[in-house]
Amino acid sequence: MTSTVQSLLLSSMEQNNKPQDEDRLGALTDDILLSILGSVDLATAARTSALSTRWRSLPWLLPDLNLHVRDFLPAPCPDYPVAAGQQIYFYSQIPAQHIDEAMASLTRAARSFLRIKGSSRVSRTSLEIYLIGNYSHDIGPLVRDAIDNGMIKELDLTIADDKDYDCKGGDMLRKARDVDGFFSAYPNILPCLTRLQLYNLRFAEGDIHNVLFDCCKQLQHLSLEHCDVGDCSVWQVDAPNSVLRVLEVRYSYLKRLEVLCLPKLELLSWEAWMHCEPPLHFGYVPSLKELFLVCGADLEHSGFSLSQLLDGATEIHTLTLNFQGEKLWILPESKQLRAAFSNLRKLSIHGIYVEFDLLWTINLLEAAPSVEIFDIEVFEHPCLVLYWERVGIQRVKPSWKVAGFTSCNKWKLRELHVTNFSPLMEQHMLFVREVMDRAPNLKTVILKEDDEPCKDCEAMDALPNLVGGLFPRTKNEQETIAQQLRDNMVGSSSVKIIFKSIVSTVVF
């Protein structure tokens, strides 16, 4: 979408050099043109001011001001990743010279937009910067003054970093001091923050709580990547007046995060914890509706009780567990989970290694009769096989006992999703049949091919044969599988079976 709009704008620039041609874009109303400019980065939008007198002031009338360092890079760079867990690699792979040039260009843009812009038009400001050189001393006063004069009321701030997860403790402490110094120099920024993303920081526990919860009165979305308060530390959050709705933690050496009180918290995501015990403890979280736990645990992770971890968080309606192809880091449970699962509507179990049995997941489903969508994702990445062999990783199959499942008339399950479905794996077929046979309200089974192919797998010179075989793409294959799933099934003839591949969607 963005590239298409940019092409149109460039075409309009070319037309501007030919007086005989009609500027069709320029004939549109301001509202439409501002909508178009709002879909491209600020650097591109600013360039359009050279089109004509009609366009000259339009970029300065945009209601949203997005000053992102990535948009000012002097050379082409990889696409900014959608997956939040990959953004730290994006920031760290930019050459130091390009960072410096981008920050210089961003500073000039900030000086132009923040000094000229009419405050009545601004609804949201997003700022993405590196704290390098003296740029923070140039941008800081501009943001401070824009807040003081009412131009900026809500600020989305990302402080990027030039290192990835290899950043060591000493560097993390220094970076935390730099961030603290920036906020101390311009204290009116903190109360204005609505979203904050930080990377590679090690705070003192009192400092992080004071900055993030006592000073940030409007903060609604907090993302901490490779941040902690020390190795094996416990971070306690007790913020009854906080309005924080989203908390994301990735790749942290925290031993545990104890959310004692966050009354407005709606979504919590924790990706990649380093210790073997439960990474979370909940106190008062009455608004928590969505929980995402993602970790590729190694053999040293002994596992923990999911029911104990969820104690105190009984309002969750969306739960995602992702094992990233490694061992299961939850202990076998079923009935013990009923209290925690009492309000669950969507249950997603992702990253299940392709050779693992899938029937064990029905233990979780039986503990959650209110679930309407059951989402299973199988994990098979040939690009990781050599790494697993090199470090000696061995897959540990689920130890859950598969009891004789019973049909439950109270099940509300309407949809079953299976991503990376492999018909050659007998266990996949058996799993789908078991769910179809026991879910009286089931309406749809969606068998999917992963729509985001792994670039590392695709880059392999000789891609090994997949254990589960290729996803069925021909209509004949799909029809045969659909018939096999329905064979001898009672009451399952009305269930739609949908095959979603990269190239098509077919319904049986």
| Predicted local distance difference test score (pLDDT) of residue 195 | 97
| Predicted local distance difference test score (pLDDT) of residue 63 | 67
| Predicted local distance difference test score (pLDDT) of residue 34 | 64
* 339's tokens: 């209290």
Is 226 found in the same domain as 133?
yes
Domain C-terminal end among 13, 41, 61: 61
Which residues, at least 6 apart from 295, have a Cβ–Cβ distance to it below 8 Å? 270, 271, 272, 273, 322, 323, 324, 326, 329
Which residues, at least 6 apart from 389, have a Cβ–Cβ distance to it below 8 Å? none
Give me the number of domains the chain comprises: 3
Is 474 found in the same domain as 338?
yes
Is 94 found in the same domain as 47?
no
| Predicted local distance difference test score (pLDDT) of residue 225 | 96
At 10, give phi and psi (nearest 5°).
-65, -40
Encode burial over 401-428: b for 16+ CB neighbours within 10 A, e otherwise. eeeeeeeeeebbbebbbbbbbbbebeeb
State the CB neighbour count (10 A cutoff) for residue 453.
Answer: 10
| Predicted local distance difference test score (pLDDT) of residue 21 | 45
Is 302 found in the same domain as 271?
no
Is 15 found in the same domain as 68?
no
Q: Which of 52, 162, 72 is nearest to 112 (CA)?
A: 72
Q: Which of 192, 256, 246, 194 is nearest to 224 (CA)?
A: 246
| Predicted local distance difference test score (pLDDT) of residue 202 | 94
Q: Is 15 left (phi over 0), alpha (psi -120 to 50) or beta?
A: alpha
Is 94 found in the same domain as 49?
no
| Predicted local distance difference test score (pLDDT) of residue 124 | 79
Is 219 found in the same domain as 103?
yes
State the CB neighbour count (10 A cutoff) for residue 228.
Answer: 25
Is 279 found in the same domain as 205?
yes
Its pTM surpasses 0.85: yes
Domain C-terminal end among 269, 288, 307: 288
Is 307 found in the same domain as 234?
no
Match 């990706």 to its residue by tokens: 271
For residue 213, give the DSSP letter: I
What is the separation of C-alpha 271 from the centre of its chain, rounded to a whole number of angstroms?
10
Splitting the chain (508 residues) into consecutive groups of 10 residues, what average pLDDT does each group show?
A: 50 49 60 67 63 60 82 85 88 94 93 67 83 93 91 94 92 93 95 96 82 93 94 91 97 93 97 88 97 84 89 95 91 89 97 91 91 95 71 72 65 96 87 91 94 75 68 90 84 85 91
Q: Determine the 3-state secondary structure of 169 from DSSP.
A: helix
Is 308 found in the same domain as 271?
no
Is 502 found in the same domain as 371?
yes
Domain C-terminal end among 61, 89, 112: 61
Is 68 found in the same domain as 39?
no
Residue 497's domain comprises: 293-508
